[in-house]
Chain A
Amino acid sequence: MTALVPLVVLVPLLGAALTLVLGRRARPQRIVAAVSLTIVLAIGIALLIAVDGTGALVVEVGNWTAPFGIVLVVDRLSALMVIISAVVLLAVLIFSIGQGLADGDDETPVSIYYPTYLILTTGVMVAFVAGDLFNLYVGFEILLVASYVLITLGGTESRIRAGITYVIVSLLSSILFLAAIGMVYGALGTVNLAQVAERVQDLPVDVQIVLHVMLLVAFGIKAAVFPLSFWLPDSYPTAPAPVTAAFAGLLTKIGVYAIIRVETVIFPTPELNPALMVLALLTMVVGALGAVAQADIKRILSFTLVSHIGYMILGVALGTVAGTAAAIYYIIHHIVVQTTLFLAAGLVEREAGSTSITKIGGLLASAPIVAVLFFIPALNLGGIPPFSGFIGKLGLFQAAAEQGDALAYTLIGAGALVSLLTLYALVRVWNLAFWRPADDVAGDETRLLQAVEEAPLSTSTISETRATPRLMTLSTAAMVVVGLALTVFAGPIYAVAERAAENLDGSQIYIELVFPASEEGAP
């Protein structure tokens, strides 16, 4: 079973190499990419089944024993994240294959798209199975470098402009993370997560707080926690629709994943929890207010993305098993729903030629399927019962109520308010873009011109942008179904999330998983 752990990383990496070799032959590239992601998904499921029984799989790379060599650790949280990432990445890949087929880009552009996409997958997987801080850094770097390429794909002026902001901010966070690793090594003489967790308790409290804050700032930039979230709404909306969908769903959550690891394994002590709760509050409120002020669907979604990061941080900041479990379920829910919404926005862009809600209308009549595919995840994100968004928020609010102090109740109130604001922002999209009769839209006569100006990805002609390929609709529909499955199977999934959270209750369990009893207190 342990052989499966490195495969999660190796399969997409080899797939990337193969797609790069296949170069300009688009069809084999697509097949290789889809097959490798399917294999990753299968491995992820196998890992979860294995790990759910034993607690964790620990692989010592090259058989070097734990504190000296590199360890890969898969616990329930990692396995869950591997599965959900593979699902999302596969759906987005199929969406982009559909888009590519329709745009007729068989020869012309971007033969590097599939290799880069698989490298991104590799980075994501490395981050999830990493058992030491430096491996986590390497995983981040792999996925970030791939994301730099994807966000500037095609090299148009607007993408370069947005990409530069994104690249510089990400670089800054990487440098902070690297500096934090250097400091951790200086203070503790190790970068192995379990050993760090073991030794950090002996440090003076002020040193602990410095290390803690350094790591949180580095991950906070990646997770887009206010006030480190400003870069996100600027850079995400300009990328191609499938790229934005994958980024919005996954990349920020990897930051949240790292924050969960820091908060539960390395620093389970509650010193910074009140500060994190205040940040969660600000992230929720500021993001939601931003969403209400925007007039472009992709920008609205980017701001709701920021605001919902706040919910996850709230769950982590509670520092209880219930809070962590709710945060884990919320992450799973949000990865799926946010990706679905961005994919639906991609469909809207294709149908209407724009994502600006001041410019488009009448989509309910002209594209009823897209309307349904947007409406269901929109309600889900807004937290309407019985969808998974409601279940996740309910879990978070219950966990916060258990804490029971004034700050926790403030956060519950803010959380309820923010979910209403999210709903308001999305219903505004619905009213203007879908429900409003097309004749009401000012400047409707310029539609032909719009189609020229905003032709999606690459050099397609107008006639090709009008039709939405079935593959794009199908993959979006599949994601909607996954979102609904999170609701229908909420019981078992939430139970797994709870067991994952129990594994993360304090650092002792994690330490024992990596260093089994006999080797306790390794050098």
Chain B
Amino acid sequence: MTISLVLIVVMAVLVAAGVYLLLERSLTRVVLGFLLIGNGVNLLILIMAGRAGVAPIVQDGVAPQEYSDPLPQALILTAIVITFAVSAFLLALIYRSWRLANADDVADDADDVALREGSMVMPIEEAAPDEGATDFPVDGAPAPALHDGEATR
């Protein structure tokens, strides 16, 4: 199997940059990292297809090994579609998080914080599963944004 060194280097750079971004706290960077890694992996599948060849439509006088391998391209197309849908969802999620909390960060789990600080006695307020579902601001959290989102759904 002959493979292009350039493609491998590009793939490695994409994945490395993606991993770096995924490890960030800022959610926008996480999304960018996810996109980079996703494309890196798509490249990996393309590399695995081997050398590029003729379009894989049966023609007279073309030996089988001269065609490109069509299967990885089908796999990549599927993967691209899935990545597209998921990143759209992620962006919506981040926008929602920003509307609610005015923050673009991965927040710590409230119970974990309580555990870490050794105050595990009453993780009550934070553990409430539906605090945002009431009309009353809980702990001064900004609730008004909820209803705009509710209406658009």
Binding site for B on A (CB under 8 A): 109-110, 112, 134, 138, 141, 145, 148-149, 152, 154-165, 167-168, 171-172, 174-175, 178-179, 181-183, 185-186, 191, 234, 237-240, 293-296, 298-299, 349, 354-356, 358-359, 452-459
Q: How far is the CB of B77 from chain A (nearest CB, A)?
A: 12
Chain A positions within 8 Å of B128 at CB level: 158, 354, 453-454
The complex places the Cα of A52 from the Cα of B30 at a distance, in Å, of 47
Question: What residue in chain B is nearest A299 (Cβ atoms)?
Answer: B111
- A164, B97: Cβ atoms under 8 Å? yes
The complex places the Cα of A296 from the Cα of B120 at a distance, in Å, of 11
Which of B38, B109, B112 is in CB contact (< 8 Å) with A175?
A: B38
Question: What residue in chain A is nearest B101 (Cβ atoms)?
Answer: A157
Given contacts A157-B131, A457-B133, whether A134 and B75 have CB atoms under 8 Å apart is: yes
- A182, B111: Cβ atoms under 8 Å? no
The complex places the Cα of A293 from the Cα of B79 at a distance, in Å, of 41
A-B contact pairs, 10 of them (CB 8 A): A157-B132, A160-B96, A161-B107, A181-B45, A191-B75, A293-B120, A296-B127, A354-B124, A453-B131, A455-B134
Binding site for A on B (CB under 8 A): 1, 22, 27, 30, 34, 37-38, 41, 44-45, 47-49, 71-72, 75, 78-79, 82, 85-86, 89-90, 93-94, 96-97, 100-101, 106-107, 109, 111-112, 115, 120-136, 138, 141, 146, 149-150, 153
- B89, A145: Cβ atoms under 8 Å? yes
Given contacts A145-B89, A160-B100, whether A295 and B133 have CB atoms under 8 Å apart is: no
Question: What residue in chain B is nearest A68 (Cβ atoms)?
Answer: B71
Which of A298, A358, A455 is in CB contact (< 8 Å) with B133?
A: A455
Instruction: Tally inter-chain residue pairs, CB-CB below 8 A.
Output: 166
Chain B positions within 8 Å of A299 at CB level: 111, 127
Given contacts A138-B78, A163-B93, whether A356 and B123 have CB atoms under 8 Å apart is: yes
- A454, B129: Cβ atoms under 8 Å? yes
Given contacts A155-B149, A157-B101, whether A458 and B106 have CB atoms under 8 Å apart is: no
The complex places the Cα of A112 from the Cα of B141 at a distance, in Å, of 27
Chain B positions within 8 Å of A181 at CB level: 45, 75
Chain B positions within 8 Å of A191 at CB level: 71, 75
The complex places the Cα of A178 from the Cα of B75 at a distance, in Å, of 9
User: 20 extra interchain contacts, Cβ-Cβ under 8 A, other than A134-B78, A156-B100?
Assistant: A138-B82, A154-B130, A155-B149, A157-B141, A158-B131, A160-B93, A162-B109, A168-B34, A171-B90, A178-B45, A183-B44, A186-B48, A191-B75, A293-B120, A295-B122, A296-B127, A299-B111, A356-B127, A453-B134, A455-B134
The complex places the Cα of A237 from the Cα of B111 at a distance, in Å, of 11
Chain B positions within 8 Å of A452 at CB level: 134, 136
The complex places the Cα of A34 from the Cα of B102 at a distance, in Å, of 40
Chain A positions within 8 Å of B71 at CB level: 185, 191
Q: How far is the CB of A463 from chain B (nearest CB, A)?
A: 15
- B41, A179: Cβ atoms under 8 Å? yes
Chain B positions within 8 Å of A359 at CB level: 124
Question: What residue in chain B is nearest A141 (Cβ atoms)?
Answer: B82
Q: Which of A149, A296, A458 has the most CB of B within 10 A?
A: A296
Chain B positions within 8 Å of A298 at CB level: 129
- A182, B120: Cβ atoms under 8 Å? no
- A171, B86: Cβ atoms under 8 Å? yes
Which of B34, B97, B129, B153 is in CB contact (< 8 Å) with A171?
A: B34
